[in-house]
Structure 1
Amino acid sequence: MRTTLLVLTAGLAVFPLAAGAVDDKPPQLQPVPEIAPPPGVQDPDLEPKVTISRRGDDKVEEYRLHGRLYMIKVTPRHGKPYYLVDQRGDGLMRRYDDLSPNLVVPMWMIKEF
Structure 2
Amino acid sequence: MARWPRTTLLLTVLLIGGLSLPAFGQSAVQPRITSQQDDQRTIDEYRVNGKLYAIRIAPNDGKAYFLYDDNGDGDFKRIDAPSVPVPDWVQND
* Separation in 2, partners of 1:93, 1:111: 19
What is aligned with 1:36?
Answer: none
Q: Separation in 2 of the partners of 1:48 and 1:106?
A: 8
- The alignment's C-alpha RMSD in Å is 2.4
Q: Over alpha carbons, which structure has the higher Rg?
A: 1
Q: TM-score, normalised by structure 1?
A: 0.48
Q: State the partner residue of 2:88.
A: 108
User: Is it true that 1:57 corresponds to 2:40 in the alignment?
Assistant: yes
Name structure 2 gaps, 5 residues minimum: 1-28
Q: How does 1:11-50 map to 2 (within 5 A)?
A: 46-50=29-33
- Percent sequence identity over matched residues? 33
What is the CA–CA distance in structure 2 between the aligned matches of 1:111 and 1:96, rounded to whole Å?
A: 23
Runs of 4+ that moved beyond 6 A: none
User: Greater share of strand residues, 1 or 2?
Assistant: 2
- Alignment partner, residue 68 of structure 1: 51
- CA distance in structure 1 between the partners assigned to 2:40 and 2:86 by the alignment: 28
Q: Which runs of 5+ in 1 are unaligned?
A: 1-45
TM-score between both structures, scaled by the size of structure 2? 0.57
Higher relative contact order (CA 8 A, sep 6+): 2
> Measured at CA, do residues 47 and 55 of structure 1 come closer, stay the same or move farther in structure 2, by a change above 3 Å?
same
Q: Distance in 2 between matches of 1:52 and 1:98?
A: 18
